[in-house]
Amino acid sequence: MDIIVSEEDIKRIDACLNKMLNKSAAVSAFLIDRSGQLISNCGNPSALDVSAFSALTAANFGATSEIAKLLGEEEFNLLFHKGQNENVYFSVVGENMIIVIVFDDRTTVGLVRLSINMIMDELLQILSPIYQKGE
Amino acid sequence: MPFINFSKDEIQCKIVYYGCGFCGKTTNLLYIYNKTIEDVRGKMVSIDTDGDRTIFFDFLSLNLGKIRGFDIRVQLYTVPGQVHYDATRKLVLKGVDGVVFVGDSLKTQREKNIESLINLAKNLAEKRLSIRTIPLVMQYNKRDLEAEGAEILPVEVMEKDLNSMLKAPYFTASALKGEGVFETLREISKLVVKDVSKKILLDGRGRSAGTGAI
């Protein structure tokens, strides 16, 4: 399966991510494939190595999915890591993607979560045809 | 599963270094990391234990430059070699585009090499991929140990054990000294890019998806 994303797709994905960032006042947003490939990122990722960040995010999700299975759950569909200055919120998008939001104390996890829910349907509408084409 | 981004004219591919425990997968990546300039590589991420055994994976992202107008970005992963980390190996193989199988040349590791190759074929099959068709390069590592008096397997024996059916390109190597490391990387990158280009050309999606064409 190949994932081929056109310029138009990326524009629409970025518009979604930016809308979410504006609404939530988060620092940056990443859309990552479950195999660890970065699809797009918006906001201010500062000096972050986005490739390594994407690989670790996918691995993190993979590992916690296995924990979920041990507990008899199919999957944990959101994860939250709290740091001293920055926090990270992860959520699954359909079957193949993960959205990751980095945010600080200028906003709250509740608002971030709400903002993700707001764009979720739109994101799925953009992403589903890309994956269907790739199969 | 290559990711082709027509917005940035970029192709991202995933290459996994596979093999039994202590065969030198991480050493390959470390050598590549140490010998490439910062502009073309990202951070080297390692999740290992105190005893230098990879517990999850190592990761290194490299920019290979442009091919027909596309920036080629490869993501190199290693898997944990120990038998009981099979679940982790399956996770790392998700979305793989090419595999380097690192064989340990030590005579004592002969069976472990074969076990690991069978395990690779099984795990690929679970992902509906075939070891016979996926871009694959064999690397027979630790050849330098012969000079130190260790008993090592002749290349012909390793070829017969591991590559008689697959007929994949192979390289002898000493990852610690860097011999054969870049040759292996160059070959697998070439095979993966060729495979990706072929797939895109075959279904014509390259043209319909954007302005660039491979």
Q: Which long-range contacts (CB under 8 A, 24 or more apart) does B122-125 make?
A: B123/B86, B123/B89, B123/B90, B123/B93, B124/B93, B124/B96, B124/B99
CA B38 to chain centre: 21
E runs forming strands in chain B: 3-5, 10-18, 41-48, 54-67, 70-78, 98-104, 136-141, 170-172
**Partner residue opposite A2 with nearest CB, options B4, B45, B73:** B4
Are the beta carbons of A101 and A79 closer than 8 angstroms? no
Instruction: Sketch the domain layout of chain A as residue ranges.
Output: 7-134
Cα–Cα distance for residue pair A8/A13, rounded to 1 Å: 9
Q: Cβ contacts (< 8 Å) between A32 and chain B: which residues?
A: none
Most confident of A65-74, B44-53, B92-101: B92-101
Express each pLDDT in B26-67 by its tens digit.
999 999 999 999 989 988 888 766 556 677 888 999 999 887
Contacts of B59 in chain A (CB under 8 A): 36, 52, 55-56
Task: Kindly give the residue spans of alpha helices, DSSP state H, lying in B8-99.
Answer: 25-35, 86-93
Please tell me the distance from the alpha carbon of residue A56 to that of residue A79, in angstroms, as a whole number. Answer: 13
Query: Which chain A residues touch B47 with a CB distance below 8 Å?
Result: 59
Query: What structural domains does chain B harbor?
Result: 3-188 (3.40.50.300)
> What is the CATH superfamily name and number for domain A7-134?
Dynein light chain 2a, cytoplasmic (3.30.450.30)
- Six-digit token string for B204: 């014509």
Distance from CA of A70 to the nearest CA of B (A): 12
pTM of the full structure:
0.85
Q: What is the DSSP letter of B119?
A: H
* A66/B87 Cβ within 8 A: yes
Interface check for B136 against chain A (CB to CB < 8 A): the answer is no
State the Cα angle at B197 between B196 and B202, rounded to 5°: 100
In tens, the pLDDT along A79-118 reads: 999 999 999 999 999 988 999 999 999 999 999 999 999 9
Distance (Å, whole) CA A18 – CA A25: 10
